[in-house]
Amino acid sequence: MSLGEVLIASAITLTLMGSVVGMTVPLQRLFDTQLEYGDMHQRLRAAADALTRDLAAAGSPVMPYRSGIRQHDPDAGVFYRTGVITLVPAMAEAGGTSHTYYLKRDSPAGPGQLMRYDGNESDLPLADHVTSLEIAYFGADAAQLAPAQLTDGPWFPDDEDRNRFDMDVLRIRRVRVSIRVEASPGARRRFLPDREITFDVSPRNLNRE
């Protein structure tokens, strides 16, 4: 092999290796983002599945606030919270399990966790890096029920009962849920925009003939 051939072979090898090294970084980035993209959808699916299942099985009343043994919102005079919903299965016996869904943030701008409270002692995370949870309520005429309508009374069973609720919540026939998730901080967020899904559920037990 002459010196000329060695030079040509070296040039070819260097060019090729340079190209390979140049491709490595974007491919690694693409690989990382794909994993996180799949994870974002998994979180979205888990959150949507849990909410859909509980909404489909829910009976009256659907409560737009936290209800249970701990931090029972009516004790504080709160009967509506944005992004909070308590669902009681229609077939639950007295004292049965309810499910409250809400967003927990350690700081106002920090990452959120979708939480589920079982009405007793346990608050458990359902999905991480959830940036927003919006819930809207609709009546039989498909008109949206405003928060003021759900907090102004009249109350059932009376004005003093610990578990009282605004009777207008009995008008709820359809619930619209919007969930938005973000990429985890370690991932390359600028390549992964937030993912959002909006879906309606018409609880069967609230729409009985």
Site residues (vs other proteins, CB under 8 A):
1, 5, 8-9, 12-13, 16, 19-20, 23, 27, 30-31, 34, 37-38, 41, 44-45, 48, 52, 56, 178, 195-204, 206-207, 209
Q: Which is nearer to other proteins, 17 or 76 (CB)?
A: 17
Least distance CB 40 / other proteins (angstroms): 8
Least distance CB 144 / other proteins (angstroms): 14
Question: Per DSSP, what are the bridge partners of residue 46?
Answer: none
Q: Which is nearer to other proteins, 91 or 94 (CB)?
A: 91
Least distance CB 157 / other proteins (angstroms): 27
Q: Which is nearer to other proteins, 169 or 175 (CB)?
A: 175
| Cβ count near 207 (within 10 Å) | 10
Euclidean distance between CA atoms 168 and 80, whole angstroms: 12
Least distance CB 162 / other proteins (angstroms): 31
Q: Which is nearer to other proteins, 158 or 209 (CB)?
A: 209
Question: 162, exposed or middle or buried, with CB in 10 Å at 0-12, 13-18, 19+?
Answer: exposed
CA-angle at 73, arms to 152 and 205, nearest 5°: 70
Distance of CA 209 to the CA centre of its chain: 31
